[in-house]
Amino acid sequence: MSENKCQCGTPKRDEFIQKLFDEYLPIKDNLIQMLNEVQEHYGYIPKNAQIELSEFLNIPMAEIYGVITFYSRFTLKPKGEYNVAVCLGTACYVKGSQKIMDRLKERLQIESGETTKDGLFSIEETRCVGACGLAPVFTVNGEVYGKATVKKLDEVLDEIINQKEK
Amino acid sequence: MEKEMVNLTIDNQKITVPKGTTILNAAKKAGIDIPTLCFLKDINEVGDCRMCIVEVEGRRGFATSCIQTVEEGMVVHTHTPNVLEARHVILDLIISNHAKDCLTCTRSGNCELQALATKFNVLNIEFEGERTEHTIDDLSPSIVRDFNKCILCRRCVAACKNVQKIGAIDCINRGFESCISTVGDHSLNDVNCTFCGQCIEACPTGALHEKETINDVWVKLKDPDTTVIVQTAPAVRVALGEEFGMPIGTNVVGKMVTALKRLGFDKVFDTNTGADLTIMEEANEFIERFTKNDNLPMITSCSPGWVKYIEMNYPELLPHLSSCKSPHEMFGAILKTYYANREGMDPEKIYMVSVMPCIAKKFERQRPEMKEDNLYDVDNVITTRELARMIKQANIEFEKLEDSNFDSPMGEASGAGAIFGTTGGVMEAALRTAQDTLTGKDLPKIDFEQVRGGEGIKRASINIAGKDINVVAASGLANARTILEEIKSGKVNYQFVEIMACPGGCIMGGGQPIKSSKVRAEVDVRKLRADALYTIDERSIVRKSHENPVMKKLYKDFLEKPGSEIAERLLHTTYTKREKYNI
Amino acid sequence: MKSLEEIHKIREEKRKELDLRVNTKADTREKHILVCHGTGCTSSKSPEILENFRKILKEKNINNVRVIKTGCFGLCAKGPIVIIRPEDTFYALVTPEDCEEIIDTHIVKGERVERLLCKDIDGTVVNSLDELNFYKKQKRIALKNCGVVNPEEIDEYIAFDGYKALEKVLKEMTQDEVIDVVKESGLRGRGGAGFPTGKKWELTKASEGDQKYVVCNADEGDPGAFMDRSILEGDPHSVLEAMAIAGYAIGANKGYIYVRAEYPIAVQRLQIAIDQAREYGILGENIFDTDFSFDIEIRLGAGAFVCGEETALLESIEGKRGQPRVKPPYPAQSGLWGKPTLINNVETYANIAQIILKGAKWYSSIGTETSKGTKVFALGGNVNNIGLVEVPMGTTLREIIYDIGGGIPNGRDFKAAQTGGPSGGCIPKEHLDTPIDYESLKEIGSMMGSGGLIVMDDTKCMVALAKFYLDFTVSESCGKCTPCRIGTKRMLEILERLCNGEGEELDIYKLEKLAANIQKASICGLGQTAPNPVVSTMKYFREEFRQHAIQKECRTLECKAMAKITVNEEKCKGCGLCQKHCPVNAIDGSGRDKRIINQEKCIKCGTCITSCPFHAIGN
């Protein structure tokens, strides 16, 4: 049995999940709350966590999968070490954030929601991050870069890549 | 208490209906048939598809007639130009994202979307555009999912998640990308699906259908070296006629046998006989376990969807399952041993076909336990629907056929075997034999009304030979879950439990003729089919399994007695814990 | 637990202590350095500024100055913002490196740091907040405490009459009296549709049920709207207080705040506020020694715009996919877990306490005939003063955009303003003088929505804008009902065709037909309003749609497939600046030649247009 398979017989639960289960009651309503914590902890929702949640909350996996794929905050794949998110809210759009996004995709050769092969970068489209005063903005691992330009984006990416190479 | 009544006007007709009636049902009462698509009575009442929209005077936007209820003085219009245009647009949009390959679709002619397209005379698609594309899942032995034909009505999800409480499928993704799928889009083979097939019965289009295997039958029928034997389950005969336009609940057993013979089957037998055999073994097993108080309650095991369910969900309760194989498997095993031997046939050259109301039987057939000397007990399982297709393809005018009888000597069955096809039937048949065995008498009371009827759970306490036996018959897997939880809690004291995976039993199985939402809303399909089975029972000369002469001879000549070593080997089986998800 | 007497005492003492926050003539030796910690300023390093101030003050052993973390001041374009009180000096675009100078010059020497003083659009240096045109026409009710109090200190909220309204309600008013006040105030839902708030409370109270709930909709999802976030970040207690008042009025003892997980600061401050309120006994059992008990929990949204729709929000709180329910029944009858539920949005709640304290008459004296009070707008796009503004209902768009917003940057012309986000519409020049209220906006084809107000200049293509909104709707549609799931996708496809120069005249008719039927047949507000951005742009800019469809022409640079940038030979002086700026070497010509754009190489980025000093290049 591979490690991804159901572990009903061989409980080997990691510490985080155990803590989560101690903290929450096994009622259905808690699904999204718990998924939020899993996403926060792992950076995505691993299959094992889905299986464990299904058992704990007594919710079929298809339903959990349905919830995960409904909410854009939840992801099924690990994000890159650097998650670059471009705000496509209206204020940023009007100020040209699409150009930033286009450049980002072109530079990294991946689409939004994907991770580069080396796992270094992932791209995400976000809705308004509320920094409209600085539009257009992009964020790298949550850090906001305001009044962005294609040039600024390139600089930020170059810096990360250079740092990595060192 | 008198129900409060509400007066309203629909399409200028004044009507009075009880409070709480939906606009759709009120309209029906006025002879107005509002089109629906996602609506499936009692199962999926959600208002998603928007076909049933109507205008209500004074209300902004349209009302959703399938779920919104009537109000005093309401004035409803069901076909204003506005409503008609909206319905056209909605239908157009649905079809624009649908694989329009009606000619190569199993549901052509019995498709609710096609019927609406005909009604609205859709001649071209105004709003063509991108279509969502899905790979077809045909890896399971039972169900094919082709979500290119899915219209996202979610009737299947409701059947799976709410009625059966399985949840193998659900709606995933969002917006235009929404689709019905399993966790991680895996095959149904690898998830917690029981293959009950209730999703197929719920589907208005061809997005879900059985894995058809009739081609193999055609080939074997033309093979001179193979003896092709067919057996038909009790529930098939009271539903097959529907595929040829006959009223629901018509017993077409005679025509069916004639048709099977015309198709070229070498022998046509009755699974009811197998059911009698099951009762012989199961009643015996029950008496033994009952007297020894061994793993009670004993739970029936003839519904393969149910067996897969307990293997996946309650493995700790598996010792409660009767070790009996299901009737068609038992019958197959006997035909390939006792019968083959008697008739001087080579069992390897027998091709055993079962016609079943069930698609989980397709899965059951290929379980490794269902083998004797490397030969499967049954070689092919086809559904009632598939048999109807074969009859049509063989150019047989079914309605005009004369009646004929099952072949001898394995063809006779008791009335007890017939009622296997409905919930409570196995229980009743077993009780008839058990009470005679326990009392040593031929008791005249053979009707056990307590376990008849359409309720999902029927509990009764039955006194046999001075002892009270607590029995329960449950159908539908949600009800099965309730009973299993009761057993697990230790708070109940059942001795004998009958469980059928499909709500209503085999007559409502996943392989039966598919009834449209409209029919299911207007007619109690289960009751009509069940009544037909009880009529067969009533009119039978032999109504107890152990009195079936075939049984008497079989045990005398071959099996010795129920539970004998050879019976154990051929007619009993084992179960294993199964992972719900292999992903 | 604090007794009522203790709370009164806190209010009295704290109010004196904080007088310098609101009174420039306060008699004190103390100074407060307020550092904005709204999301905008936080992302431009305001926490570092705060730390620096504290560090330097400590090093220099200055004891009469406190550094305070506050919510949003509103003028995000000038962030990070630092204000020093009581004198109310407004420093803009402050960096962490400026802290030392501010302390040395302003605090120690008592002189202003001139270079950091905020300048108005016309270049005049302003000394204090109130001198800015940006603030002059505003009236702050919902935002009253934002930028004044430290949102993480319940005592500061109490100092400015916080929880006084709750006390009044619990001690002096019946449930019906509370509802009557809210009704009479004329307050309407600030989340979108503008349903009368008091009526909603009344309906929920009237519904039978042993258990009722109060829900705060903080799932602010309109792209370009951030007023709710600012209130939650700047004044979280005002929402808690209002929810408790609502709970008392309708007979509920449990509340939920459904807030976007994308608002981490708001979530954190809300949690702090809830914890503090519980500690004081303002949330919990027997509040203020009465029979009334009330508690609040936070529920995080997970990135689905549709969850701002009230029934989808309820589904989401129940742990399910946020798919709306068919209404009726309304949440007031059957909401969370089938129980009567009151749902209001953040800004609506933020008005409640003051309505209770100052009375319905006071509130209803503000605004227009049908829309009372104020409305907060998130002003963004091509406007100088990007930020948060609160104005009385009835203020005109022109006042907001030109007087408060400081007009359009770069000398460009106003083309349209978009209100109501993906559910709203575009308002053209000819309606700039419409006094804004629920009805007037609806009349001109837009809607109030939650309060996003995006200004667009003449470089914006209206077809592309419609496409932008439809793209949003399509990816945020829940997928439940057919018209929204497939219909909006088809509309988007048509708009994409138009923007790619692949459209035809019939497409305009198709858009209209789809729009009308999606509006009528969809289940929820999202679907019913999804076509609005298209309908309103087609109403006011129909010619632009026809140009795209028939002439395959876009007058802006936005629809790249159709754009063709050319040099006006008469105006070109052959300076070559455009060549220098062109990123793809698509401009031919040398010396004093008139330049020519190589259409095959040109990527239509528009850099040459902005770089030409003679305005010789255009589309």
Residue C12, domain member (yes or no): no
pLDDT at A2: 39
Q: Are residues C281 and C251 in the same domain?
A: yes
Q: Are residues A102 and A155 in the same domain?
A: yes
Q: Are residues A38 and A97 in the same domain?
A: no
Whether B404 and chain C come into contact, CB under 8 Å, resolves to no
Domains and CATH numbers, chain B: 5-93 (3.10.20.740), 97-210 (3.30.70.20), 215-571 (3.40.50.1780)
Among C476, C486, C517, the residue with its CB nearest the CB of B85 is C517
Segment of A110-124, A127-141, C347-361 carrying the highest mean pLDDT:
C347-361
pLDDT tens readout for residues C436-470: 999 999 999 888 888 889 999 998 999 999 999 99
Interface B-C, measured as beta-carbon pairs within 8 A, has a size of 98
* Touching chains, B (3+ CB pairs < 8 A): A, C
Tell me how far apart the alpha carbons of residues B413 and B271 are, in angstroms, rounded to a whole number. Answer: 8
Residue A6, domain member (yes or no): no
Residue C147, domain member (yes or no): no
* Touching chains, C (3+ CB pairs < 8 A): A, B
Alpha-carbon gap: A118 to the closest alpha carbon of chain C (Å)? 27
Q: Are residues A62 and A105 in the same domain?
A: no
Strand pairing class (C82-85; C31-36): antiparallel
pLDDT tens readout for residues B500-553: 999 999 999 999 999 999 999 999 999 999 999 999 999 999 999 999 999 999
Helices marked H in C414-556: 438-443, 462-476, 482, 488-499, 505-521, 525-529, 532-540, 542-546
C136, C168, C187 — which closes off a domain? C136
pLDDT at C523: 95
Single-letter amino acid code for the residue at C331: P
Q: Are residues C313 and C340 in the same domain?
A: yes
Alpha-carbon gap: C480 to the closest alpha carbon of chain A (Å)? 11
Q: Are residues C529 and C415 in the same domain?
A: no
Residue C605 in this model has a pLDDT that exceeds 90: no
Tell me how far apart the alpha carbons of residues C196 and C203 are, in angstroms, rounded to a whole number. Answer: 11
Mean predicted lDDT score pLDDT of chain C: 92
CB contact under 8 A, B173 and A47: no
Q: Which of residues 157-176 of B touch A (CB under 8 A)?
A: 161, 166-174
Whether C487 and chain B come into contact, CB under 8 Å, resolves to yes
Domain CATH for C283: 3.40.50.11540
Specify whether the CB–CB gap between A4 and C293 falls below 8 A.
no
Q: Which domain holds residue A42?
A: 15-70
Of the ranges A10-19, B102-111, C164-173, C235-244, which one carries the lowest mean pLDDT score? A10-19
Backbone angles phi, psi at B95, to 5 degrees: -70, -30
Backbone angles phi, psi at C284, to 5 degrees: 125, -155
| pLDDT interval class at C599 (50, 70, 90) | confident
| pLDDT interval class at A130 (50, 70, 90) | low
Residue A127 in this model has a pLDDT that exceeds 80: no
Tell me how far apart the alpha carbons of residues C401 and B345 are, in angstroms, rounded to a whole number. Answer: 95
Q: Are residues A86 and A157 in the same domain?
A: yes
Tell me how far apart the alpha carbons of residues B447 and B453 are, in angstroms, rounded to a whole number. Answer: 13
Q: Are residues A33 and A100 in the same domain?
A: no
Q: Which residues of B are catalytic?
A: 282, 285, 302, 322, 361, 364, 369, 506
| pLDDT interval class at C126 (50, 70, 90) | confident
Whether B62 and chain C come into contact, CB under 8 Å, resolves to yes
Alpha-carbon gap: B529 to the closest alpha carbon of chain C (Å)? 35
pLDDT at B481: 97
pLDDT at C615: 86
Interface A-C, measured as beta-carbon pairs within 8 A, has a size of 130
Residue A5, domain member (yes or no): no
Q: Which residue, among B505, B446, B444, has the nearest Cα to B474 in the 3D structure?
A: B505
pTM: 0.92
Q: Which residue, among C278, C256, C228, has the nearest Cα to C72 in the 3D structure?
A: C228
Residues of A whose CB is below 8 A from B172: 62, 65-66, 69-70
Q: Nearest chain C residue to A142 by CA: give it.
A: C43
- C538: Cα separation from own chain's centroid: 26
Q: Are residues A105 and A38 in the same domain?
A: no
Residue A2, domain member (yes or no): no
Residue C1, domain member (yes or no): no
Whether A60 and chain B come into contact, CB under 8 Å, resolves to yes
Q: Are residues A86 and A150 in the same domain?
A: yes
Tell me how far apart the alpha carbons of residues B418 and B237 are, in angstroms, rounded to a whole number. Answer: 10
Backbone angles phi, psi at A126, to 5 degrees: -120, 155
Specify whether the CB–CB gap between C386 and A135 falls below 8 A.
yes
pLDDT at A3: 41
Partners of residue B54 on adjacent β-strands: B63
**What is the pLDDT averaged over residues C85-92?**
91
C457, C475, C503 — which closes off a domain? C457
* Residue C181: both structure tokens together: 């006040």
C136, C170, C191 — which closes off a domain? C136
Residues of A whose CB is below 8 A from C300: 32-33, 36
Q: Are residues C44 and C105 in the same domain?
A: yes
Q: Are residues C280 and C256 in the same domain?
A: yes
CB contact under 8 A, C39 and A137: no
Q: Which domain holds residue C72?
A: 18-136
- pLDDT above 90 coverage of chain A, percent: 54
Q: Which residue, among B450, B446, B452, has the nearest Cα to B429 in the 3D structure?
A: B446
Q: Are residues C105 and C92 in the same domain?
A: yes
pLDDT at A7: 43
pLDDT tens readout for residues C474-488: 999 999 999 999 999
C-alpha distances in Å from residue C524, one per residue of B47, B301, C29, C328: 11, 47, 57, 11
pLDDT at A1: 34
Q: Are residues C131 and C189 in the same domain?
A: no
Residue A11 in this model has a pLDDT that exceeds 60: no
Q: Are residues C452 and C466 in the same domain?
A: no
Residue C148, domain member (yes or no): no
Among B62, B97, B174, the residue with its CB nearest the CB of C520 is B62
Interface-testing mutation among C316, C520, C522, C524, with chain B (most B C-beta atoms within 10 A): C520
Q: Domain count of chain C?
A: 5
Among B172, B579, B582, the residue with its CB nearest the CB of A65 is B172
pLDDT at A125: 86
Q: Are residues C287 and C428 in the same domain?
A: no
Q: For chain C, what's the residue count?
A: 619
Residue C233, domain member (yes or no): yes
Q: Which residues of chain B have pLDDT under 70?
A: 1-2
CB contact under 8 A, B184 and A65: yes
- B357: Cα separation from own chain's centroid: 6
Q: Are residues C208 and C296 in the same domain?
A: yes
Alpha-carbon gap: A166 to the closest alpha carbon of chain C (Å)? 27
DSSP codes of every residue in A19-31: HHHHHS-S-GGGH
pLDDT at C584: 82
Residue C478, domain member (yes or no): yes
pLDDT at B276: 94
Q: Are residues A111 and A58 in the same domain?
A: no
Alpha-carbon gap: B63 to the closest alpha carbon of chain C (Å)? 9
pLDDT at C410: 85
Q: Which of residues 373-392 of C touch A (CB under 8 A)?
A: 378, 380-382, 386-387
Interface-testing mutation among A61, A72, A127, with chain B (most B C-beta atoms within 10 A): A61
Domain CATH for C126: 3.40.30.10
Q: Are residues A59 and A97 in the same domain?
A: no
C-alpha radius of gyration, chain B, whole number: 25
Interface-testing mutation among A50, A63, A76, A112, with chain B (most B C-beta atoms within 10 A): A63
Domain CATH for A143: 3.40.30.10
Domain CATH for C510: 1.20.1440.230
CB contact under 8 A, B50 and C482: yes
Q: Domain count of chain A?
A: 2
| pLDDT interval class at C222 (50, 70, 90) | confident
Q: Are residues C526 and C603 in the same domain?
A: no
Q: Are residues A108 and A157 in the same domain?
A: yes
Q: Are residues A59 and A23 in the same domain?
A: yes
Backbone angles phi, psi at B254, to 5 degrees: -65, -45
Strand pairing class (C414-419; C295-301): unpaired
Q: Are residues C441 and C576 in the same domain?
A: no
Tell me how far apart the alpha carbons of residues A89 and A35 are, in angstroms, rounded to a whole number. Answer: 25
Whether C503 and chain A come into contact, CB under 8 Å, resolves to no
Q: Are residues A115 and A159 in the same domain?
A: yes
* Residue A9: exposure state from Cβ atoms within 10 A (0-12, 13-18, ≥19): exposed
Residue C311, domain member (yes or no): yes
CB contact under 8 A, C485 and B175: yes
Residue C144, domain member (yes or no): no
Residue C494 in this model has a pLDDT that exceeds 70: yes
* Residue C285: exposure state from Cβ atoms within 10 A (0-12, 13-18, ≥19): exposed
**What is the pLDDT averaged over residues C148-176?**
96
